[in-house]
A = this chain, B = another copy of it.
Amino acid sequence: MSLDVLEDRLREHGYRVTTQRRAVFDAVSALGHGTHEEILRHAQTVDASLNLSTVYRNLEVLEEIGLVRHAHLGHGSPTYHLADHHRHLHLVCSKCKEVLEVSVDTANPLVEELKTSHGFAVDIDHFAIQGLCSKCQS
């Protein structure tokens, strides 16, 4: 996704195009996924005066206009990623905290069953899946 799309989408929704919004978007793009703090740190390499509250406010805006999404991988802060970022399920080991990434297709039977029997359109990768990895089960 290019910066052109960022500008267009912002304008479409009546938001202004600012250097801070570009910096936050770039940081999310470069990081793949990151928390507010991680995004701030990365974006500050471009604009050192960028403020954490601006990161909070702009991630909200970017999410509202559909360019960015967030997921909950653990008990702490959410992580943000581009909306067209490669999607995958996150398997988080509750013991060693390792995070495995597996194809979202693995969940297709569940996704389809919930759609058929409850009419629920699942966003399967919004929350991680917790459990014990093979090493921690002994």
Contact = CB atoms under 8 A, between A and B. Distances in A.
A86 interface: no
Interface stretch (A6-14, A19-27, A99-107): A99-107
A50 interface: no
The CB with the most chain B CB atoms within 10 A, among A106, A120, A123, is that of A120
A122 interface: yes
A92 to B, nearest CB: 9
Interface string A99-138: 0101000110110011001111111101111111110010
Given A78-B75, A107-B110, A113-B106, A131 B127 contact: no
Given A107-B110, A123-B129, 16 more contacts: A72-B127, A91-B114, A91-B118, A91-B122, A93-B120, A94-B123, A100-B118, A106-B114, A109-B110, A109-B113, A114-B129, A120-B133, A121-B132, A123-B131, A124-B131, A126-B130
Contacts of A128: 127
Q: How large is the interface on A (under 10, 10 to 19, 20 to 34, 35 or more residues)?
A: 20 to 34
Contact of A121 (B75, B78, B127, B131): B131
Contacts of A114: 91, 102, 106, 129, 131
A125 to B, nearest CB: 9
Query: Nearest 8 CB-CB pairs, A to B?
Result: A119-B134, A127-B127, A126-B130, A109-B109, A122-B131, A121-B132, A110-B110, A123-B131
